[in-house]
Every structure is written in C-alpha cells, then in structure tokens.
Amino acid sequence: MLYEGLVIFAVLLIFFWLPQALVAGMWGMQSAKLLWLHVFLLLGFYFVWFWLKAGQTLPMKTWRLRLVDNKGSQLRPLQAVLRYLAAWPSVLLFGIGILWALLDKDAQFLHDRIAGTRIVKAD
C-alpha cells in the first residue's frame, strides 16, 4: 500500500496539482467541492483503468499481484467501479475494510467481498 501511495502521489501531482495550478493562475481558485470531485474522478480513472486493462496497477505488478473476480476471470467494468467506490469508506472509516482481512476466512478486504473480487498471485 505504501508503494501504491507513492504512485498515487505522482499521479495527483501531474494530473491534479499541475492542472489546478494552471487553472488557478488563469481563473482563480476552484471551490473545494470541485477539487475533491477532481481527485475522486482522477483516482477512479487510474484504478479502474488499470484493473480493467491488466488486472493490476504498477505496484501490484511489482509485487506480482493481480485482481480477478471470484471465478478467477478478468473484472467486469461494473465490478471495478464497485470495488473503487467501496474502497473509499473501507479506507476512510479508520481502515476498517482493510482490517476486515484479518478476520475474513479468505483474508479478503471488505471492498473485495462487496465487489466480488479478490487479489491473487500473478503468474
């Protein structure tokens, strides 16, 4: 997760901060709601794109992990979006969805249970 955080930081720096700095320089600051919406949509695009394209983000590839559905197949678009949406409260509510894996019989995160996905070792 730490490595994923570093990649997310770079994505936000390039695709959030830089455009926002240019927009603010030309037209002034955007509202806080628009800024959060930009972050939410940007991260959604990042995760959903990589999960659908290859089943893994760059950090997942480095650790040889892949995201699949419960049958071991590639994710459907709705599953990827549902996993992304479910991950927000899973992480923001004091990481309860992450800690869920400690109690889960298959060691799955709560957002994986909700979306019908699982993380497996990549070949």
The pLDDT of residue 19: 82
Q: What is the mean pLDDT of the chain?
A: 92
The pLDDT of residue 101: 95
pLDDT at 98 over 80: yes
CA 25 to chain centre: 30
CA end-to-end span of the chain: 21
Consecutive H or E run containing 11: helix 2-12
Q: What is the spatial distance between Cα 112 and Cα 35, in angstroms, rounded to a whole number?
A: 27
Q: What is the spatial distance between Cα 26 and Cα 103, in angstroms, rounded to a whole number?
A: 51
